[in-house]
Structure 1
Amino acid sequence: MYIRATHAELDVPTLVQFVKDYPLGLFTTSIKSEIAATIQTSHIPFVIDEADGDRPARLRAHIARANPQAKVLIEAAKAQSNGTATLPDEVLVLFNAPVNAYVTAKFYTETKPDTGKVVPTWNYAAVQVYGKIKVYGESNDESSAFLQGQIEELSERQERAAGHEKPWKVSDAPDRYIDIMKKAILGFEITIDRIEGRFKLSQESPDGDWAGVVKGFRALGTERSVAMADMIESRGKNRNVSLE
């Protein structure tokens, strides 16, 4: 991902929290196969685990076995071993903030009246995670235990994040039913080699233009525009600029 220095987020806890806040990732693989396309992407919700002692940070998830991307992973894992294997190819997961927006040049209230040398742009925030993937492709105790822990934690985190008074738990469903559902999914984990973020939120703009962008989005009055104004303002909290 191309990241200008002014847009780069280098703080790992901030990047990890971003993934926790927006866990639906674009899971992308590039694995040559005779049964499906080489490059494939699926929308997958992830659980992220921070590094702990000798254990590196990782992402955990599951994917429907009927998904062609899963079939390629299973094929590749069987080529490595018995179906539970770490694959040699790097994978990518892209996480996006739910709000992004076109920034009209009219918001640049300092530079536009002065020189007119302004053009529109687009504001967004994204985090990319790269690493090696381990596939739990066999129907055995190891894969079953991995899937059980992953689906329980994913459900628990998201039920809590949604603010449900009485959260649903995997144990609320019959064990036999969960066992059947687990047979239809493929578990995997990604050991994180690198994680990088680009928060492109008008940081490069001079104070007058930056304030104009914040005010401009707030004045639009929509839920999305106000959310964008909040994101921009949060990244510029150290600026000594009046937004009155």
Structure 2
Amino acid sequence: MYIRGNHAELDVPTLVEFVKNYPLGLFTTAIKSDLAATLQTSHIPFVIDEADGDRPARLRAHMARANPQAKVLIEAAKAQSNGDGTATLEDEVLVLFNAPVTAYVTPKFYTETKPDTGKVVPTWNYAAVQVYGKITVHGAPTDQSSAFLQDQIEELSERQERAAGHEKTWKVSDAPDRYIDMKKKAILGFEIAIDRIEGRFKLSQESTDGDWAGVVKGFRALGTERSVAMADMIEGRGAHRTVSLE
């Protein structure tokens, strides 16, 4: 991802918090196989763990075994298995996380530069985080793989139940054990040891003070839920500016 300097976010705690807030990632692999296309991408919700002692920061997730991407991962894991039902693949993988709100920015919002010189063009505001690393596939039906899946689905469910605001959360243990065991057989667990994580929060930081204020005002004046959310994101990212919005 091209990251312009004034859009860059490299603070790891901030990036980890972003992934926790927007956990649905675009999981991308580039593994040559006769089973499917080399490039594969799936929408997958992730749990992110920060580094702990000798254990690197990681992402944990699961996907349907029926997914062609999962079939490629299982095939690759069998070829590279370390004998205990898991395999760490040689190929790097990528997961992209996006903020749910993006927006087209009209030049009309640039209330300083447009009337002064007219030298303005449209752009697009967004925030995204990319994670790169090596993937370990828990592909074999072993006790280790089953335990990994159990922990992952329990923690993912608990986190998202709380994030959704449910005071009394639904738990995996609320469902019959035999039913959960059956469901687990249909999914593939995997984890990604994070080699690097980086973000681009492109939220009008490059604008002059007058144009930045005009962008905030412009989005708020549109009055939609998405436009107000974008105005909030821009203000949150540009909180260091000493700009009057009156």
The unaligned stretches of length 5 or more in structure 2 are: none
1:187: Cα distance to partner? 0.1
Identity of aligned residues (%): 88
User: What amino acid is aligned across from residue 71 of structure 1 in structure 2?
Assistant: K
Q: Look up the match of 2:56.
A: 56
The alpha-carbon deviation at position 10 of structure 1 amounts to 1.3
* Cα RMSD, aligned residues only: 0.6
Q: Which amino acid aligns with 1:228?
A: M
2:221 aligns with: 219
1:34-53 correspondence to structure 2 within 5 Å:
34-53=34-53
Cα deviation, 1:82-140, whole Å, max 9, x if unaligned, reads 55100000000000000000000000000000000000000000000000000000001
Shift of 1:165: 1.9
1:157-210 deviation line (CA, Å, top 9, x unaligned):
000111112110000000000000000000000000000000000000000000
Q: Does 1:117 align with 2:119?
A: yes
The Cα of 1:232 is off from its aligned counterpart by 0.2
1: CA distance, partners of 2:59 / 2:3:
23
SS at match of 2:73: helix
Structure 1 alignment gaps of length 5 or more: none
State the distance in 2 between where 1:141 and 1:177 align.
17
Q: Give the TM-score taking structure 2 as reference length.
A: 0.98
Runs of 4+ residues deviating >6 angstroms: none
CA distance in 2, matches of 1:48, 1:98: 18
Q: Does residue 229 in structure 1 map to residue 231 in structure 2?
A: yes
- 2:241 and 2:228 map into 1 onto residues whose CA distance is 19
TM-score by length of 1: 0.99
Q: What's 2:133 paired with?
A: 131
Counterpart for residue 86 of structure 2 = 84
> Secondary structure of 1:167's partner?
coil
Distance 2:40 2:130 in 1: 16
